Structure formats: structure tokens, C-alpha cells
Amino acid sequence: MGEIEGSYRVLQTPGTRLGAQFNAGISTLESGQSLSGNMVVSGSKIHGRGLQIRVQGLDDSQEFFDVDPKALGQILLSEVFHRGNLIESDYFGLEFQNMQMNWVWLEATKPIGKQVRRPANTLFRLSVKFFPPDPGQLQEEYTRYLFSLQMKRDLTEGRLICTEKTGALLASHLVQSEIGDYDDVADREFLRANKLLPYQDKVQEKIMELHCRHLGQTPAESDFQILEIARKLEMYGVRFHPAADREGTKINLAVAHLGLQVFQGITKINTFNWSKIRKLSFKRKRFLIKLHTEVHGPYQDILEFMMASRDECKNFWKICVEYHSFFRLFDQPQSKSKAILFTRGSSFRYSGRTQKQLVEYVKENGAKRTPYQRCVSLCACKLVIRKIIHFFKIFNETFPSFVDSVVDNPQLSPLTSKGSLCLSPSFQMSTLSLPSQAPSPLQSPILSEVGIISFFPQRFPTDKAYFIAKEILTTERTYLKDLEVITVWFRSAVIKENAMPEGLMTLLFSNIDPIYEFHRGFLKELDQRLALWEGRSNAHVKGDYQRIGDVMLKNMCALKEFTTFLQKHDEVLTELEKASKRLKKLETVYKEFELQKVCYLPLNTFLLKPIQRLMHYKLILERLCKHYSPAHRDYDDCKEALKEVAEIATQLQSSLIRLENFQKLTELQRDLIGIENLTAPGREFIREGCLYKLTKKGLQQRMFFLFSDMLLYTSKGVTATNQFKVHGQLPLHGMIVEESENEWSVPHCFTIYSAQRTIVVAASSKVEMGKWIEDLNMAINLAKKSQEKSSVFLDTGLTDHSNRSSDEVSLEQESEDDMNSSRTSLDKQTHHRANTTMHVCWHRNTSVSMSDHSLAVENQLSGYLLRKFKNSNGWQKLWVVFTNFCLFFYKTHQDDFPLASLPLLGYTVSTPDEFDSIHKEYVFKLQFKSHVYFFRAESEYTFERFATHFQIRSVFSQKQRMSNQSHVCCPVSTDGWR
């Protein structure tokens, strides 16, 4: 008889329950305070934190969508379809790359946060999900346009494989659709700027020759021709899923409207129609096709294919289920009701409309929809605009007074009074947006919502773009200093003691030295450009000073050369860790160096900085592109620079996730006593934080660490190193977690049942309890699905404490004197140890997850701020670096190490209250219990950036804005502060 997993727990009798009087002296919170991580703004709490998700359209434009982290995938899908004015939306879906860098579909019925590890970091892209055999089945011209863009993407990415002649024909229709009738100059410029085929240079003349034949063909007709040609190709709509047959021969599986297809290479060798298939299933890595008996006889009715992993196998099975439902069923399938006790098999079902339902819906609602108008392509607009600009430049030089009079006269000016372009009475630039709706993500970026565009160069003031550029400069300064921690300071330490083997020295510094040298030059260019932008030279004569895109594009392209170096950081980090364990001298130098002031973070953290910096560039460039209008002269360079860095970042994203996890595990390994081999393969860190464990002595403070395979709990040591001592390990396999506040009469209490023992713990707040329970349940479910769950615990190196009594008081008695001595020793040691998250969580009674760590990595910031203490009158100007949940203070950006630091975990953030008597703009207030600090930024943008990093959502209430505006301000000083 089989066993039911996860149902075992130890039931306690009333006599074994421990009395639990809540010890009010344990909490470090003031009355009414919560260290939940939800910040306070102007006296009002902000519950939760929304996600800003980036979605790329089929035309490669990108938009941001604000959704709740726990929202179902359908919420995001509906918002994307609504904003894009998609009627036949069920043909489409959103795809993203998983940890294995495979494109998978966002499921509508599951929360986004449970499908995507880091939604805010993930690029979702709108794509065609279901490819109908006949484009005539698509009712909307707009839908056919989007399908043609999908064909363009598939051609570019090499998925729509065809002969060179067919590829050239498809490309010629794409050119006709984009720029209209043939023009030699326009064709060549368009093909130079747009890569439509992998072999485009080889067939460019053929493309132009075929384009000549499409004279007079409308964009809609071109779209239809593209789909007509594509649907006849064997690779139309095909998405390969690698597998192997029973003999081990490598093949590719695919699914289409007719059924399942089998390819060897790119040659189709078999098709199993839906009518022949009795059942599709998967078992671990095996994908099974059960055929009807009459097809292959009673002994050959099951076909078996082996895929790379269970996840890939299940992913392909889901796609098959959806394809079958969409094309074969008349009505939407009903979801299965879940079993009460336990379930067997997947409950996944297709959740959208079937093709039949969709066609009927469009027919019924066709008369109500607003007609779709095709916009003039961006490329065509640019060609016309370039000629007009050139004409006016020449004309302005020759007849300046005439041009001035034309511009001043609305009846003669080529620009209307609003500045909108009027080429002729019969030619107007329409957009893809429908009336009374938000602009479509496919709207031509050269036009604003009203079609406004400026043809005359303008001198921009030091606006938001300047401060974004300044952020690039300030964070680059800090980044270069961080690189020097390794290239200058650590190198000096290991050379002095001759502590590192030659091979490791070469591996480490040959990879990081070239990166350091590159960024020295890059910082110099940024510094020079910002100096010009700030008007400290006569660069405005040339008109080249108020932009940053050209500098970014040049250097982002150059960064590609360092991809191989960045890819070796995984090896560097691993080898350094191994060597420091193996070589006593290196271990000593390593530990002593970490105690130096210049090493203000754990040493291996600095080795992650180069890859993390790529992510910073991407985020800053996204912000800059979002700020600029597409007509701005800096927009194209910024957009291209973003494209370049995004490409590198995508390649290294999975490596970064692995490295951050490894770095965190090695950091914990050094700070925990009683466990070895914490960096075991497959183990992932999830959450660390302070909870109170119920014992015979009452509630005792403990530090808990949740991993993907186990839960550790520790107590604070009283040694000089302030390490934590491991007291227990609970495997996640078979674990159950339940809220139990009512049962134990302890606030924010929950019970953890495991096969070894049962423990009762309490959190500092309801929000903290919710975080722990959510992460524990998530980790338990993942551990249950793991194929190697039984072998994970064979070599943890942890002493088995499972036979101890459940109270464990004899080994964990900590007197009040011990606790005080522990805190005293911590306060006396260097800032590095005091600022590690585990120590801060311990003293501030809170917790931090790996997701929080990832968010902190993204939200690194540098710049000058003015600081004021609660009871002081003056403001002190300091260079501030915000990283790893901590503010580090320097006198200037040239200093080698911080003067002081302020860990922010547990702090609330708000704007000043009236009784604070702060009559300045751009001020925010940090507070933990009686500790209060005020910080003042130089601009609204800088204020908002720091405020966002500290999780302020509503930066200013209307009352606060009016209050600030009512104060009399001093003139602006040279450094930007009032």
C-alpha cells in the first residue's frame, strides 16, 4: 500500500503543551510599531508592494504594467490585451524565459509570483500562441498585422526556416508593409537598420528586386501575403521541444492545430493527429503518447519520449493540452474540482476561449468595434523628417528672417499652432490607438498622443534627463571604488603575505583587471560629459552637451567584449571559496581583510558587482528611454544602448542568480557554527530572520534560516566573532505549517510540524508571520516536487540534534547578562560584522528574504545628501552609498572607506511631520524607535529615487506639496540645494 506524502505530524496532548506568557520585554518595537517592511508615509501605512512588470510588444516596443505581486497571470494578460486594443486576444499570450533560459507561457490561473522567480527583473513578451492553419480565420486586420510581426520575429530569430528565395520574398512584403512603395535609398536604409533575415546581406538585392513588384500594395495586403506564404511553410508556428526516442536518437517535438509533430533536425518525420491520440501524459522526464488501438495495434499503442527534465516535460504537456482545447473543443473546458484529501496528476486546464468561441464572439461584436487605422511607419516618418530638417537648416542659413516669419504665421508655417506635422491636407499621421483609450504599445514612437513633433533643435534645461545621467555618473564612481577593493586592496593583501596560489591569482585578476581598466575610461567620459552638460564649457555652441546616449551606446557596445570575462565569475567565486577553505594562510588573510574598513561588505560580494552593474545600466537606460520622447535626439542612442546591454544582461541573468545564492550561502557558512557544507549543490537560500521559539522558559529569541531543503534555527553566541550556533535542523520533506495564535494564546504564533519534532514560534508582527508561513509553504511544495529530496541531507555536516527533548532549554539557557554581553561585544567590533543582515535582523526583530536581497542589489544608489539629526540645527553634506539594506556615509566620493553606516532594516520612512519643523523641499525622515534622521536631496528626481529605494510609495501628499510650496525658499546654490 502506497504512502501519502506530507500527511505525517506529531499530535500533542493538552498535558504536553507549554505554558506561554507573552514576554513584553522581548520585543524591540514601540507600541503600535511594526517591522514588517511596509513603510509609513505621512502617517499612513502602505500595505504590500506592487510590481512594475515590463512587457515587450510584437513591434519590440516596451511598456510597464503595475500589478499586485500575488495577482493571477490573467490580470496581467487582461491589462496587456486591453491596452493593446486586442479583440482576438486568445490567439496571443505572454512568454518569459525561465531559469533554464527556455521560453515558457505565463499561465492565466496561477499567481505571477509563483511562476516567475523575479517578475520585476523579467522581460515578458507578447507573442502568438496559437497559429491557425488559415489566416482567413483571423477576423481583424489588426490581428493579421500582429501575426505578420510574429512572422518577422520568427524570421529574424531563425525559427521560420525556409529557402533563401522564400525568405527574400517574405522580407520584400515586410519592407512594403513598413515603408510603402519601392525607393532605392529608402530600401537600403531600412534594410541597413533592420535585420529581417540571418542571411540578409546575401539576398539584399533580391529583396529590393521583389519589392519593386509590390507597387501600390497596401500594408494590409502585405500582411495577408506574408501570412499566406508563411502558413505553407513546414516550420510555420513550430516551436521545438528537444527530446529523445527510446533508442536515444535526438529528435524535436512540436504541437500544431492538427496534433503532435516529430522532427529530426528540421525535417518532419511523423505527425500524430488528435483523432489518433487517446491520451497524453508525462511521468517525470518521460512524455507518453497513447494511441487508439486501431492505429498501431494492441502492443504498440504507447510512444515514449525522454526530455531533459520534468519541468520541460510538463511544460510541453501543458502546451499540448492548450492546443487541443483551443482547436478541437467547441466550448471552454471546465476546471477539475480538487480532491479533499490528496490529488494525483495535474489539474491544469486551458482557461481561455476556444477558437470556435472566439470566432463567434468577434462576429457578434464586430459592428461595435472602432475601425483600425494603420499608422505611417517609423522608418518612413524618419526619412521625411530628415529631409524636412535638412531643408529648414539650409533655408534658415540662407533666409533666416523669412523662416522666422513663417514660423510665427500659423497660416504659412509647416507646423500648426500645436506643433503637429501637416504634410498635406490629404496626408495625416494616424495612430494605432482607438479613441478614448490608452495609446497602443504599437503606436509609432515618433508621435506623441496628439501627433506633436518638433523639428527645430532645442536647448534643454537641466531637467530629469540630466539627473538620470548624473545618477549614472555617481553610481559609476561607487562601482569603480568597489572594483578597487579587489584589484587594489585585496591584491595588495594577498601579495604581501604570499597567500594565494599563482593559478588562482591569474584566474582572479586576469578576469577583473580588464573590466576595471575599461570602467576607469568609462567614468572619465561620463565625468567629462556631465561637466559639459552643467555648462562649465562652451560646448553649447556645438549643441552636443545635453545628452548621454552616445556615450552610453559606445561603452555598452564595448562591454560586449568582456562577456567571456563575466561568464568566468562563477568559476572565480567557486575557486576562491575552495582555496580559502584549503589553504590556512589564505583563509587568515581573507578573514583579516574582511575586517578592514575598506571592505565594507563581505568580500565575495564585490566579485558580483560587474554582473550586477549590467543590470543597473539596463534599469537606468530604461528610465531614460521612458523619459525621452521618441523625437528627442538622444532617444535613438539610448534605445540602442539599452538593446545592447539588455542582450548581455539576458545572457548573464541565470549566472547572476546562481552567484547571488552561492555568495549568500558562503556568507552564512562563515557566520554559523555547527554546520558544514552549507553550499551543497542544489540548495537555495530563501529567508533569514528572528523568531521566538516556545520553550519551558517561555519565548526564547532564535535566528531562523530557511533553505530549499531544510529549516535551521540558531542562538546568538557570546564569542568575539558573534557567530550563531546551530541548535536544530528540520527537513522540509513532510513538514506542515499551521497558524496557532488561538491555541497558544501567543500573538503572531504558528506551529511547525516535522517528522523529527514539533516547534511553536512567534513572529514580531502579523505581517512577519505571513511572510514566514508563505515562504515555508512555498519551500515545502518545492521540496516535495524535488527528485533528489532523499539525498539532500546525506552530507549536510550538521550534528543531529533530533533526539533532544523538544524544549532544548539545557543547551540554550541564555541569561540576561549573556544577552547583554553579546550585544556589547557586537557594538564594539567593526562595522562590517555589525552590518550583516543576520545581525541586523537579530537586533531589529525582523527578517529578510532572497527576493529582498535581489531587490536591494537592483536598488543601489550613490550621491550627495544633506543629513540632519533630530535635535540639531545644521545640515551636513555627505557622500551616501545605499547598498545591502544599509546607508554608508563618506565625507566625499573620493574617500576609500565609509566614516559610518546606518542599517535600514526595520526603519520606517516618511516625509517630515509638522512638529518636525523642517521647512525645506525634498526631505525624507528615517525613524526606528527613538532614532530619527532627516535627509535632504538636491532635486525632486534624486529625492524620488532615494525615496523609492526606501519603499516610499506616495512621495508627497497634496497637503505636503502645498506646505512646501508655501515656504519662502532661498535662491538655488551652485551645488543644487536650496
How large is the average pLDDT for residues 677-685? 89
Would you kindly state where each structural domain of the chain is located, as residue ranges? 51-128, 135-231, 240-332+351-357, 469-536+544-665, 680-788, 860-956
- The predicted structure's pLDDT at residue 123: 92
Point out the least confidently predicted range of 43-57, 196-210, 347-361, 482-496.
43-57
Residue with cell 540639531: 872
Separation CA 895–CA 898 (nearest Å): 7
Q: How sure is the predictor about 789, in pLDDT bands with cuts at 50, 70 and 90? A: very low
φ and ψ at residue 717, rounded to 5 degrees: -80, 170
Residue 476: pLDDT over 90 = yes
From the list 243, 247, 246, the residue with the least C-alpha distance to 255 is 243
From the list 168, 165, 148, 296, the residue with the least C-alpha distance to 231 is 148
* pLDDT tens profile 617-665: 999 999 999 999 999 999 999 999 999 999 998 888 888 888 899 989 9
The residue type of 563 is T
Point out the least confidently predicted range of 368-372, 655-659, 683-687.
368-372
Cell of 428: 495625416
Separation CA 106–CA 407 (nearest Å): 51
Residue with cell 543601489: 860
Percent of the chain with pLDDT over 70: 73
Q: Which CATH class name applies to 680-788?
A: mainly beta
CATH topology of 680-788 equal to that of 860-956? Answer: yes
- The predicted structure's pLDDT at residue 383: 56
Contact of 531 with 545, CB cutoff 8 Å: no
Q: Tell me which long-range contacts 344-348 makes (C-beta under 8 A, separation of at least 24).
A: 346/314, 346/317, 348/107, 348/318, 348/321
Would you mind telling me the total number of residues written for the chain in this entry? 978
Q: How sure is the predictor about 452, in pLDDT bands with cuts at 50, 70 and 90? A: very low
- The predicted structure's pLDDT at residue 544: 60
Helix (H) or strand (E) holding 729: strand 724-731
Residue 808 sits at the vertex; the CA angle it makes with 803 and 810, to the nearest 5 degrees, is 115
Residue 382: pLDDT over 70 = no
The better pLDDT of the pair 354, 791 is held by 354
Separation CA 323–CA 274 (nearest Å): 10
- The predicted structure's pLDDT at residue 200: 92
Residue 885: pLDDT over 80 = yes
- The predicted structure's pLDDT at residue 408: 40
Q: Which CATH class name applies to 860-956?
A: mainly beta
Contact of 186 with 179, CB cutoff 8 Å: yes
Any idea which fold 240-332+351-357 has?
A: PH-domain like (2.30.29)
Sheet strands (E) in 733-817: 736-739, 749-753, 758-762
- The predicted structure's pLDDT at residue 20: 34
What is the pTM assigned to this prediction? 0.53
Collapsed DSSP state (helix, strand, coil) of residue 291: strand
* pLDDT tens profile 36-83: 333 333 333 333 457 889 999 998 888 999 998 788 999 999 999 998
Q: Which CATH number fits domain 135-231: 1.20.210.10, 3.40.630.30, 3.40.50.720, 1.20.80.10?
A: 1.20.80.10
- The predicted structure's pLDDT at residue 202: 92
Most confident of 98-102, 221-225, 686-690, 833-837: 686-690
Q: How sure is the predictor about 968, in pLDDT bands with cuts at 50, 70 and 90? A: very low
- The predicted structure's pLDDT at residue 798: 34
Q: Which CATH number fits domain 469-536+544-665: 3.40.50.720, 1.20.900.10, 1.10.3720.10, 3.90.1720.10?
A: 1.20.900.10
Handedness of CA 755, 756, 762, 765 (dihedral sign): negative
- The predicted structure's pLDDT at residue 434: 32
How large is the average pLDDT for residues 530-544? 63
* pLDDT tens profile 907-931: 888 889 888 888 888 999 999 888 9
Contact of 889 with 906, CB cutoff 8 Å: no
Residue 298: pLDDT over 60 = no
Separation CA 817–CA 800 (nearest Å): 29
Strands 286-291 and 40-41: unpaired
Q: How far apart are the first and last CA of the chain?
A: 78
How large is the average pLDDT for residues 558-586? 89
Collapsed DSSP state (helix, strand, coil) of residue 289: strand
Residue with cell 501600390: 216
Residue 680: count of CB within 10 angstroms of its CB: 17
- The predicted structure's pLDDT at residue 378: 54
Residue 431: pLDDT over 60 = no
* pLDDT tens profile 821-872: 333 333 333 334 556 888 888 888 889 999 888 877 777 899 999 999 888 8
- The predicted structure's pLDDT at residue 55: 93
Contact of 332 with 349, CB cutoff 8 Å: no
Residue with cell 551652485: 974
Point out the least confidently predicted range of 361-370, 685-694, 816-825.
816-825
* pLDDT tens profile 652-675: 888 888 889 998 998 898 888 888
Q: Which CATH number fits domain 51-128: 3.40.50.720, 3.30.2130.10, 3.40.720.10, 3.10.20.90?
A: 3.10.20.90
